[in-house]
Amino acid sequence: MSETIFSKIIDGDIPSYKIYENDYVYAFLDISQVSKGHTLLIPKKASPNIYETDPETMKHIAEALPIVANAIKKAFNPDGLNIIQNNGEYASQSVFHIHFHLIPRYKEDIDGFGYIWNTNEDKIDDNKKAEIQSLIQAQL
C-alpha cells in the first residue's frame, strides 16, 4: 500500500493532535472538527478499506473505539455520537487508509434537516485544538 497522510501522521512526519495511542491504533483530532471533539481512529497497520482489513486489525480497532468514545463523552457530554467509516471514493472516502470518524453530536447542531455536517477547520485554531485534545486526553 502506498504511503498516505495517515501513515505520515503515525510516523510523526505530519503533526497531529494525538488523543490516544497503543501498539495497534492511533487516534487524533480530525482537522475539520465537524463538531467539538471530532476524532479519527486509525490502525497502525494500514489497509485501504474495510474489505482489505484483516480480523486481527479490526479486533484492535474495536477495542479502542469505546475507549476513545468514552473519553470524548466524559470530556464534552455530547447528546450523541456518530461513528462513521467510509469505503471507496463513491462512499466519500478521501484517505485510503481505513479510518473511523467519532463525531460528537450536540442538540444545537441540528439545523431542521438533521445534523450540520460543515467543517470548521478555519474556525478552530491550533490553540483551541490543543485545548480540545487536552480535555479528551484527561479522561483516558
All three cell numbers of 130, joined, read 490543543
Catalytically annotated residues? 99
Location of C-alpha cell 501522521: 9
Torsion angle (degrees, nearest 10) of CA 3, 22, 41, 7 = -10
All three cell numbers of 100, joined, read: 473511523
117 to 10, 15, 36, 69, 103: CA distances (angstroms): 26, 24, 12, 19, 10
Cell 479490526, located at residue: 58
Q: Which three cell numbers stand for residue 13?
A: 512526519
